[in-house]
Chains A and B, each alone.
Chain A
Amino acid sequence: MEILVCVKRVPDTAENEFELNGAGNDLDRDDLVYSVNEWDNYAVEEAIQIVDKVGGNVTVITVGDGESEEVLRREMAMGANNGILLSDDAFEGSDGKGIATILKAEIEKGKYDLILTGAQADEGAGQVGGMLAAMLDLPYASLVNKIEVSDGKIKVGREIEGGNQEMNEISLPCVLSIQTGINEPRYVGIRGIRKVASVEIPVKSASDLGLAADSIGKAGAKTKRIDYFVPDLGAGAEMLEGSTDEIIAKLIEKLKAKGGL
């Protein structure tokens, strides 16, 4: 089975404290630590496990700048066979549909039985997988937390509200967005990354993909982020301060008053 996994380089929420820049219209990006979108690691692990069972190849792909190559290498160190970087100044300012349009152009050049995305990325939209499927006229299932492969068809479980699982049969080829918890992504060490450090990763531009300038980038974007802001959400928490002993004494009084002790 030929499996394509879409991955995105994102600021790591566990490693960063996010601050607005001086102008207040963007994040202060100077010292941000980036990594692979959490959901995408589960998607790559699932693809590797499927190929281990039924044979085939796993290709990882991303739309990004030069620095995005590192996330492809990381996923190749996990065990993906190939990487493809789609990169061009013309991609700047693309919205979700722009990203899906760029991915579609490359996907149509290959032949994939299964296309996986993460259920969502840093922007929390969860949009690219469903758009890609609709653009390619392929069936789609989101929030997948179980995949059983058989001939020409697969059975997938979708995680729905309350943690219940919605089982579906879906024909191949198809697009699935993967939810965390579907597997336990393998650990990647420095040595693994070193092993794939010199593997060639093709870089493709808008003209390589035959993309019209007005379908992508800023010109094609119908949903645009204007700025970042700090919402006015009222008072927020009463912050307890002082020495640890003082904080604990105050907290215990409050817990007693509220029925916590």
Chain B
Amino acid sequence: MTQIFAYIPFSNGVAEDIAMEFTTAAAKIDKGASLTAVLTGSGADLDKVANDMTGLYAEVIKISHGDLSYPNAEVVRKALVNVIPAGAIVLAPHNTFGMDLAPGLSVKMNASYAADIVDFAGIEGTVLNASRQELGGAVSTHVAVDIASGAVITIRPGSFAPVDGKTASGAVVDKSANAGDLSAKRKFLEIVQAEVGDVDITKADVLVSIGRGIEEQDNIEIAEELAKAMKTVVSCSRPIVDAKWLEKGRQVGTSGKTVKPKVYMAMGISGSFQHLGGLKGNPFIVAVNKNPKAPIFQVADVGIVANIIEFMPELTSAINDL
């Protein structure tokens, strides 16, 4: 029987949403598989989340240790290698923690590795069929993962429908004694909070958001003028912040701000999942992009194929003339 272990990330005593998505993913891998949640941590938070997970998973393993109180990937990896049986399929989120943990875990478990999976099409023999994206979402691929000696797989958050409510009545098994030596060459020091920026894009009902398509720093003015006409502010994708053209506080995405506008104007943004991950509340998305094949057009409500450097000033003056 296929054995699947899902690593459940949590903070402040609450499991991340992906905990509800793993169960759907596991069923798509193999409906008949055994599914076990694995949690590492310490103290009351760990116990609470482990308990919460018994409503979703038939078996819940907790590994409790002071050194696991912060999820340092090196320490977590050591614990998992000692607790999860060889040959199993391990699921982790494709986020900043999963990217830190999973590739090394696959080496230490001598298992196959598949990253950022968005869909599964079941197992044939010892091959698991899955789908993922490449080139920033511009193309999709089918991949075949040999699971004969197990696999470590990261799942793209938000790609599998969440299972809510009580679907299992599992029990918590304490495997802390099996964790083994947890000494590490990397030591967690502290979290430095992101700087608060000049404007708060999280409160805006409308956002004029620019991506690499803005091409030059001097062109940002064009977006500022459109934002002014629409009585709002400019937000952006990551490359604009990397280039230091706008402050970090303006960045929408998983490593930036989560915004919930009513209307989102995506100007020269390709539509990577890390960018879209910061866009919540189902806004009305207008995408303007010179590439008719840009992935953003798959998620936008309205699309326009145009050069934003020419299009934005025209839109601005039309709005100002209203």
CB of A113 within 8 A of chain B? no
CB of A213 within 8 A of chain B? no
Contact A228 B104 (CB under 8 A): no
CB of A157 within 8 A of chain B? yes
**B132 and chain A: residue at smallest CB distance:** A124
Contact pattern, B 74-116, Cβ under 8 Å of A = 1, otherwise 0: 1000000000000000000001110111111111100011111
Contact A164 B286 (CB under 8 A): no
One of B24-32, B53-61, B166-174, B248-256 at the interface:
B248-256
CB of B14 within 8 A of chain A? no
CA distance A229 to B130 in the complex (A): 12
Which label, helix, strand, loop or mixed, suits the secondary structure of the B interface?
Answer: mixed
CB of B304 within 8 A of chain A? yes
CB contact between A223 and one of B112, B191, B257 (< 8 Å): that residue: B112
**Chain B residues with CB below 8 A from A91, complex form:** none
CA distance A174 to B255 in the complex (A): 24
Contact A228 B284 (CB under 8 A): no
Contact B96 A229 (CB under 8 A): no
Contact A124 B136 (CB under 8 A): yes
CB contact between B134 and one of A124, A133, A162, A236 (< 8 Å): that residue: A124
Q: Give chain B nearest CB distance to A162 CB in angstroms.
A: 6
**B74 and chain A: residue at smallest CB distance:** A139
CA distance A178 to B214 in the complex (A): 25
Q: Which of B129, B133, B134, B298 has the most CB of A within 10 A?
A: B134
Contact pattern, A 149-174, Cβ under 8 Å of B = 1, otherwise 0: 00000010111111111111111001
With A141-B186, A259-B205 known as contacts, the answer to whether A126 contacts B103 (CB < 8 A) is yes
**Chain B residues with CB below 8 A from A208, complex form:** none
Contact B194 A224 (CB under 8 A): no
Q: Which of A119, A134, A170, A227 has the most CB of B within 10 A?
A: A134
**Chain B residues with CB below 8 A from A134, complex form:** 103-105, 107-108
CB of A23 within 8 A of chain B? no
CA distance A165 to B136 in the complex (A): 24
A-B contact count (CB 8 A): 250
Contact A163 B248 (CB under 8 A): yes
CA distance A15 to B12 in the complex (A): 43
CB of B161 within 8 A of chain A? no
Q: Give chain B nearest CB distance to A54 CB in angstroms.
A: 20
**A133 and chain B: residue at smallest CB distance:** B104
Q: Give chain A nearest CB distance to B201 CB in angstroms.
A: 12
CB of A130 within 8 A of chain B? yes
With A133-B104, A158-B96 known as contacts, the answer to whether A125 contacts B302 (CB < 8 A) is no
**Chain B residues with CB below 8 A from A223, complex form:** 112-114, 143-146
- Residues of chain B in range 248-294 having any CB-CB distance to chain A below 8 Å: 248, 251, 254-258, 262-263, 265, 270, 284-287, 291, 293
Q: Give chain B nearest CB distance to A49 CB in angstroms.
A: 16
Which label, helix, strand, loop or mixed, suits the secondary structure of the A interface?
Answer: mixed
Contact A140 B186 (CB under 8 A): yes
**Chain A residues with CB below 8 A from B293, complex form:** 17-19
Contact B100 A142 (CB under 8 A): yes
**Chain A residues with CB below 8 A from B122, complex form:** none
CA distance A158 to B262 in the complex (A): 32
CA distance A165 to B230 in the complex (A): 34
Contact A130 B244 (CB under 8 A): no
**B129 and chain A: residue at smallest CB distance:** A226
CB of A135 within 8 A of chain B? yes
CB of B44 within 8 A of chain A? no
One of A63-71, A189-197, A199-207, A247-255 at the interface:
A247-255
CB of A87 within 8 A of chain B? no
Contact B315 A127 (CB under 8 A): no
CB of A244 within 8 A of chain B? yes
**Chain A residues with CB below 8 A from B142, complex form:** 225-227, 229
**Chain B residues with CB below 8 A from A80, complex form:** none
Q: Give chain A nearest CB distance to B115 CB in angstroms.
A: 4
Contact A237 B297 (CB under 8 A): yes
**Chain B residues with CB below 8 A from A230, complex form:** 140
Q: Which of A162, A174, A259 has the most CB of B within 10 A?
A: A162
Contact pattern, B 295-322, Cβ under 8 Å of A = 1, otherwise 0: 0011111111110000100110011001
- 24 examples of A-B residue contacts, CB within 8 angstroms: A13-B135, A13-B138, A120-B99, A123-B134, A126-B103, A126-B115, A127-B115, A130-B107, A134-B103, A134-B107, A134-B108, A138-B185, A157-B192, A159-B255, A161-B254, A165-B194, A171-B186, A177-B99, A226-B144, A227-B141, A236-B299, A240-B302, A254-B284, A254-B302
Other A-B pairs beyond A95-B113, A125-B116, A223-B145, 16, CB < 8 Å? A96-B113, A126-B103, A128-B103, A129-B103, A134-B108, A159-B96, A161-B95, A169-B189, A222-B112, A226-B144, A237-B299, A239-B304, A240-B303, A249-B318, A254-B302, A261-B319
Residues of A within 8 A of B (CB): 11, 13-14, 17-20, 27, 95-97, 100, 119-120, 122-131, 133-135, 138-143, 155, 157-171, 174, 177, 180-181, 184, 222-231, 233, 236-240, 244, 247-249, 251-252, 254-255, 258-261
